[in-house]
Each structure stands twice: as structure tokens, then as C-alpha cells.
Chains A and B, each alone.
Chain A
Amino acid sequence: MLEVTGIDAFYGKVQALWDVTFRVAKGEIVTIIGANGAGKSTTLKTISGLLKPRKGQIVFEGADVTGLAPNRLVELGIVLIPEARQLWPAMSVLENLEMGAYARTARPARAQTLQSVFAMFPLLKQRVRQRAGTLSGGEQQMCAIGRGLMARPRLLLLDEPALGLAPLLVREVFESLKSIREQGVTIVLVEQNVRHALALADRAFVLETGRVTLSGQASDLAHDPRIRDGYLGLAAV
């Protein structure tokens, strides 16, 4: 579904990604593992068009989408749920959700998608009028995921959806990702919670200072000593 080949990405003069290559098959969950600053968020930003790669190619469902503007990519079904939730705090939950359904491809089905988001997160339905900034951390994350779903993604890019959540809520977020996948959405997941992420994902790859250093089946990587020592040790706390 997604083929990323030889991507170099820069912030100004500073290079953040070197020759990043990976693929995601339809219906898969692929997780990106890496330390802080490894380039995980940068990878997602590049796929969603917020950052233009200097080199390399991104092919989505057979079509070259390298360098397309974010609004075009959203219309094709590539949707990013950015890190740190980033709701519009002064706007209501409902307004935040509706904001997600701006794309031409999502707008006609807005009311219908909203109902399915409420079905997944009933709590949001009770809080539609509340200002998003006053939601609890877990509720904010649900709102952020719901807003992403409003865009009717075919490929969902999630940047640390469980960041800062209590263990119970982390589980809840991961459960929701499962049911999103069951609805036929392909997922690329960035998550510090490596153990959970590997348990959920089909495949994974590791980024180290902007380069892919390891990739494979998630279940294999979960037992790989390099992952165990480098990443699972930290996450086990």
C-alpha cells in the first residue's frame, strides 16, 4: 500500500532522515521504534506531506505521491494524528471532530463518520459541547484519534498516541487501534511503549539517528536481543 524508498529529509540545513526505506502492506500495522530524536515523527511528517523529502520516493497505492501537498494526501486517505494530541483547546469537542472531516472526500459522510466515532468512543458523545482543552489526558487522546478518523483514513499515521497516559488508558487506546484496523484501516504507529507496540503490530522497523537499522516481523523483533536491550529494557519499568 505504501512504499517509501530512499528518503532524505531536512529541517533547513539539518538532515533528519537518511535513505529511509520501508513498505507497509494493506491492512497491516507497522510500528516504528526509535530513541528520542531518532526521526520517527519526521518520518510521519514526510509521509503526510508536512515536510517535503529532499530525495527519495513515496508511492501510495501504486501512485507516486512524493511532494504532494498535505491536502491532496488527506484526500487520498493518508491521515496523520500528530504527536502531543494538539487539539484546538478553545474549541468544543464537536468542533475539533468536525475539523477532521474537512477533506472533500470526508465531508459528505461527516454525520455518518461522527456516529461511528461516537460508537468507538462513547465518552466523547457525552462531552461534545465541552471545550477540548478541559478534557482529561485520556479523553483528549480519544478526541485526537476520533478527529483523525473523521478524515476517513485509509492509511492512519499515529504519533505516540499513548504518551503520558496511565496503563489502563494505554490499554484502551491500543484496543481502539485494533478495532480501527478491523475496519480496514492500515496503520503506521510510532510508540515509546515498545512492548505494547510490538504485541499489536505485524511488522516493525528501528530508526537510529535517521537511518533504518533493523526491520522484520514484530514477533521476531520482540525477541531480538538488540531490541530487548536497547528498547524493551526501558519500556518495562
Chain B
Amino acid sequence: MIQALSGQLLVGLINGSFYALLSLGLAIIFGLLDVVNFAHGAQYMLGAFVAWMAMQYLGINYWSALILVPLAVGVLGMVFEQLVLRRLYGLDPLYGLLLTFGLALVLEGIFQNAFGISGKSYPVPDLLQGGTNLGFMFLPRYRMWVVVVSIAVCFGCWFMIERTRLGAYLRAGTENPVLLQAFGVNVPLIRALTYGFGVALAAFAGVMAAPIYQVTPLMGSGVIMVVFAVVVIGGMGSIAGSIITGLGLGLIEGLTKFFYAPASDVVVFVVMALVLLARPAGLFGRQL
């Protein structure tokens, strides 16, 4: 009983870690670029797949991949931003949404063509094999690592954005980009870097996820719907909101799985509907 409950809570915490990482990236991108990055799930998948390919074909191990893959995928994101996405700034946000949705379809299509839809497995790195028996449950070391690192990365991002001077420029650009430009900030460059950073976060989550979930071309499209719900519940553009909501909803999902499993797939959307009724701007969003 307690074993099953704590097991589900752990799964919830793991899922929540990924929700938090992904919705954080979405919130950062949305804040500064006003773009709803529908390709976020595909970029997460790209992170996992590139890590897998790097190991298969180049022998690059998990630890190097954790650094190199987000960098590489982030650079790809910046190229995409420079070549295409930036042409849509100032237009209806719907255009950005459609463009990134298209990008997601293209990326997923390419990987399905090349690898089919069956999953690849990625080994847990040696250092993080095994786990601890807590008596009432077994705690795999890799999962602990995922939770701790995700929370640390999320907190680091929050700190950087809310408490440092660099973050102050980002916040200022979010509110009034033209004004920021008038004070000499190269706003187009900051936008490109921000998009790259958000995409790199998605890829980072992908690498972290590779040893836990199956690496498949569609792994992102499943999780991204939940992540969008997280962003809506937390409040569009709220950094702290997306982190807390991501973790919280992971736990709520886990609890639901324990008490009434059939509802676990929809509970997030039920919460979303309730929140939208009570607070249309989300739990942490600025009320309109």
C-alpha cells in the first residue's frame, strides 16, 4: 500500500521534473519572443535522439552528451530563429504557433522515416546504476539524479532571470522591447539567444529523459500537450509559476494514478479547466 503510493509519487515527481523543465523553456521563449513554441516537444525528442545517435555512432557518453547535445540543439534552434522565425515577429502570434507546429511535424517525420516508431533504449550511466532501499520502497539512483538536477536547473534559471542584472534585461525586453532597444540593447540578438536557450533546455530534458523513457520520434508529442496545460495553469510567461506548477501537476498525476488510475491521463486537463474558470490568467500569471 504505502509502497505503491510512494512509487506513484516518485513517478509523479519524475514526470513533474520534466514538465517543469519543459514548461520553463516555453515560458522563457513566450516571455521574450511572444512565440508559442509548438516545436518544444520535438526539440525535447531531438535532444534524446541526438544523445542516442551520439552514443551509437560516435561513442559519446551520457555525461558529455548532457553538455554537448543541448549546445548543438540550441544552436540549431538559433539558426531556425534567424532564418525563419524572426520574420514573424510583430505579426499575429498564430503565425509563430503554426510555424513551430510545422517544424515539430517535420522533425518527427524525419525521425520516423529514419528510425521507425519503435523505441530505442539508452543505458543508465554506470555511475548512476542501482539505488537505495528505503525499506518502504526502492529508490533508483538515476531517478533521484533527475529530480535533483531538474530542480537545481530550474532554480538556477529562476535565479538568473529574477535576481541578476542579465535577467533584468530579459524581463525589461519582455515588457517593452522597443524601449530596451532605445537604451542600446541588441534586442534581435537577445531574442536569438533566448530562443536558443529555451530550445537547449528542451534538449537537456531530452537527454535526461533518454535513460528513463523509450527514445522514440513521438516521445515529445505525448508530453507536450501536458506541458502546455502546465503553462496555462501556471500562467503564461511566469517563470516561478511554470516550475512550481510542473512539479505539482506531476505529483497530482501520480496521486491520481494511485487512487483512480483511469483518471490519471485527464486529471491535468480537469485542473486546467478549473483554474481557467477561477483565474483566467493562471495561478501565477498577472491577472488581466
Report if A98 contacts B (CB, 8 A): yes
| B contacts with A: majority SS | helix
Can you report 28 residue pairs joining A to B where beta carbons are below 8 Å apart? A50-B178, A69-B186, A70-B181, A70-B182, A70-B184, A71-B181, A71-B185, A71-B186, A74-B183, A74-B184, A79-B182, A80-B182, A82-B179, A82-B182, A88-B172, A88-B175, A88-B176, A89-B175, A90-B171, A91-B172, A98-B168, A99-B168, A100-B183, A102-B184, A104-B184, A106-B184, A151-B183, A151-B184
Partner of B182, one of A50, A90, A91, A95: A50
Given A88-B175, A95-B168, A75:B184 Cβ within 8 A: yes
Partner of A90, one of B175, B178, B179: B175
Report if A86 contacts B (CB, 8 A): yes
Closest 10 CB pairs of A and B: A74-B184, A103-B184, A71-B184, A70-B181, A71-B186, A80-B182, A102-B184, A86-B179, A95-B168, A102-B185
A interface residues with partner B (beta carbon < 8 Å): 48, 50, 69-71, 74-75, 79-80, 82, 86, 88-91, 95, 98-100, 102-104, 106, 147, 151
**Number of B positions contacting A (CB below 8 A):** 16
Q: Indicate if the CB atoms of B172 and A99 lie closer than 8 Å.
A: yes
- Min CB gap A110→B, angstroms: 10
Chain B residues numbered 158-175 whose CB sits less than 8 Å from any CB in chain A: 165, 168-169, 171-172, 175
Q: Look across to chain B and name the residue whose beta carbon is closest to the beta carbon of A96.
A: B172
Q: Look across to chain B and name the residue whose beta carbon is closest to the beta carbon of A148.
A: B183
B182 contact set on A, CB distance < 8 A: 48, 50, 70, 74, 79-80, 82
| A contacts with B: majority SS | loop
Q: Indicate if the CB atoms of A102 and B175 lie closer than 8 Å.
A: no
B interface residues with partner A (beta carbon < 8 Å): 165, 168-169, 171-172, 175-176, 178-186
Q: Indicate if the CB atoms of A91 and B168 lie closer than 8 Å.
A: yes
